Structure 1
């Protein structure tokens, strides 16, 4: 039996807001749920879940639906996503490859 995952209120609200924004973009384009779902290659029921902010939807599907609906997920400030990814990757290269749990210091003060 699968256990349900609990999400923070912030995450649930963010997913709900993203879904609402996708629905708004779809309606502004005057597309039906069926039209957008067909363009994304998903079922109408899956699109409805995305638009409701269902946390069980795959992130890739949500991003693809948002893109197809015309929702800009990242601010377009003249810098391409590729160059932003490159900049973040440069920062990641400066950090350790793995993070280990901190060792508890031994309390040897008798």
Structure 2
């Protein structure tokens, strides 16, 4: 017996058009994204290209919050790719011999007290 919420006579295109009208023609997603977008400075975003929150050394955002808007598909691969990029960059800077390069990632107890 067909579900009353999903009529078998309606095509996927019909349902898509219905959803589009219901959302005011805006792109919608069931995935929670945004809230901590990347930027060049605090006026432009919440985190830098190393995922560190502006003004808060040692605090990083490495999840869907860094994606500013609906990417049109399930964002799990995008989130994974961004997290892998962060880890690679973080590890490289933590093991670098150049103190200037590790400055954004390395933090001491004194800086955070």
Instruction: Pick the TM interval, shorter chain.
Output: under 0.3
Q: TM-score, normalised by structure 1?
A: 0.25
Of structures 1 and 2, the one with the larger relative CO (CA 8 A, separation 6+) is 1
Q: TM-score, normalised by structure 2?
A: 0.25
